[in-house]
Structure formats: structure tokens, C-alpha cells
Structure 1
């Protein structure tokens, strides 16, 4: 009886070990209950459109146990990797633009926002978030902590938005951000 249990246990461990190893070695993800394309895309630091394109999906509908490609099949040398936050904090977020007099558009870290208006940059208090850190801000996306501001003290951030109208629409809100490095 003991010999049978050991044999069954060993077989099960090998079976599960081999199947999880194969998944980890490849650039795929198996859909689990509660998953969505946006959740998977966020985990792998890719876009929903990339997931849909790489997996030939015409809608956002996915099924449990469906295997999805999480890297560009045409560029296996540059696979997407899950992004893990090293820290999560709640901050008060507002938005800023370059639409004011005497603004150079050059951030504290040297990013030229006039030449790169689509760059995702946030202003931070360097005592709270180190300049140069990569962060994820819900509703804004992945950004670099690349600027400081006179009113940005403590747990406050400013997200750069090139359009005055969109910056006003952003308003002021509390968000839980992820510091990625």
C-alpha cells in the first residue's frame, strides 16, 4: 500500500512539474478564472491590442484554460516578462501641462516634453519616489518619475498630460500606484 501511494505521489509530482515547467519556459499564459485581457496585459507589461493581435482575437472574450501568447511571436528574443511592483502606495494625483508662460518643457531629469509630448512622466517628491523610477498609475499607465514640482510634497504626484482639456478632466484623485523599480 505504501509503495502504491509513493508511486502515485511521485507520478503526480512529475506530471504537475513537467506541465508547469513547460508553461514557464514558453511565452504563454493559461487563462484562469477571474482573468481578463487587461489584467493579463498589465501583468506582462503589454497592451490588450498586442494580446489580441498575437492570439488572433477579434473580441475581448477569453475562456478558462485558454493558452495565450504573451510575447511577440515574431520576436522571441524580446519576450514580455511579468512586471512586479516593489512597492505600492496611495497618492493624491493631479495633472499638469506645459501651457503656461516661461515653461521650458525640460523636466528635472532632462526629458524634453515639448519634443516628446506623448512621453508618460510624473512629478514626484524624490523623498517618497526616487527620480527615474518606473511606475504604474491606474488610469494613466506606465510612466517614469522624471520631474519634481514646488507643490509636490509627500504622497502627491502630478501626471503630465499634453492637452489642457484632458489635464482638467483628470482633475485630482487618490490612486494606488505601483513603483516598479
Structure 2
């Protein structure tokens, strides 16, 4: 008899225990006086629109003692909680510098001379910009406006032309006549960037 009573008590506790657990994870909520859809949605970690959709509500009007569904259906819950994986955006690929290498004869000039206007073929005023890195080129070989790296001179702009500047010959602008004479005539490698 003791075993029967203990078994009955155990079964009763289990039934009430599961009933309590079931009500704790309830999918419905009984509206209390002063409740709003916003308060209920916040409490159950859902949106107002979800509650309205699950309960077929056309407006935000609710009444005390009204019973509302407040838990998402399982399929939607799984979708909501799943981490949405979107492909990572790739950073734009850096353009590889495109250039051609040439070996040229390089002389030097200055805008500080008699009869020199100091204005290049592309309009650069070398008298106002004495330290400008500008080279004279044959536009058939090196397009005007190109960036050109000159060994021993640095990065320059192909911004001028000259009567004696043909084929693989360039003329480098120097700020003073002394620097132009010090450069002299050299054979150098250049990189013409496109």
C-alpha cells in the first residue's frame, strides 16, 4: 500500500510539475488592464506586427482578459534565430600599376633662360612652380599627361615637348641652370605609367 501511495504522489507531482513547466513556456498571454501591444511584444521579445499577425488583429486595440498568441511558430522561430550568412563583400581589387619600361637619353633644362616663357605645352607655369617635376617628351612615344618615374630624378609628369626631343629622348625640368648643368646627359631607365 505504501508503494501505491508513493507511486500516486510521484505521478501527481510529475503531472503538476510538467503542467507548471508548460505554463511557464506558454505561447499565449492574457491581457491585463493597462497592457499595450508594445508592452506585451517587448516582454515576449517579439514585434507588435508579429502579435497582430498571429492573432488576426487589424488595429492595436486590445481588451483586458483577451488571450493573445505571443510565441512565434516553430518554423519562423528557427528562421529568426538562425544566423543569416551573407557572403562577405570583397574589397575592390587594387589595380596593378601598369607601366612600360624604357631606356632613354635624358638631358636637363630650366625655365630660367632668355626668351623662355616658362609655360609648358600642357600649360604648367614653371617660373611659378620652379620645383615642379616636369619632363619634355616625344608625345608619339610618351603621351602628354603621363606619370613617368625617372631613375635619379623621381616621379614626374610628361608635360612638355621640344624640337630636339624625339623618340627615346627626354628633357628634365630643373629649378636652376646650375642643377640642369650638373645633370648633364645621362642614359636612364624610366617607367611610363598608363
RMSD of equivalent CA atoms: 1.8
- After TM superposition, the score normalised by the length of structure 1 is 0.54
- State the alpha-carbon separation in 1 of the partners of residues 96 and 145 from structure 2: 17
- After TM superposition, the score normalised by the length of structure 2 is 0.50
Bigger Rg, structure 1 or 2: 2
**Structural mapping, 1:1-12, within 5 Å:** none
Q: Which residue of structure 2 aligns with residue 108 of structure 1? A: 121
Q: Which residue of structure 1 aligns with residue 139 of structure 2? A: 126
8 Å contact kept, 1:83–1:180:
no
Q: Which residue of structure 2 aligns with residue 65 of structure 1? A: none
8 Å contact kept, 1:93–1:173:
yes
Of 167, 175, 182 in structure 2, the residue corresponding to residue 162 of structure 1 is 175
Q: Is structure 2 residue 173 aligned with structure 1 residue 174?
A: no
8 Å contact kept, 2:107–2:186:
yes
Secondary structure at the counterpart of residue 105 of structure 1: coil
Q: Which residue of structure 1 aligns with residue 164 of structure 2? A: 151
Q: Which residue of structure 1 aligns with residue 28 of structure 2? A: none
Q: C-alpha displacement at 1:99, in angstroms?
A: 2.6
- State the alpha-carbon separation in 1 of the partners of residues 111 and 173 from structure 2: 9
Q: Is structure 2 residue 90 aligned with structure 1 residue 95?
A: no
Q: Which residue of structure 1 aligns with residue 39 of structure 2? A: none
- State the alpha-carbon separation in 2 of the partners of residues 85 and 167 from structure 1: 30
Please list every run of 5 or more consecutive structure 2 residues that lacks an aligned counterpart in the other structure: 1-90
Seen in structure 2, the aligned counterparts of structure 1 residues 175 and 103 have a Cα distance that, compared at 3 Å, is: same
8 Å contact kept, 2:112–2:118:
no
- State the alpha-carbon separation in 2 of the partners of residues 144 and 128 from structure 1: 14
Q: Which residue of structure 2 aligns with residue 52 of structure 1? A: none
Aligned length: 103
- State the alpha-carbon separation in 1 of the partners of residues 169 and 96 from structure 2: 23
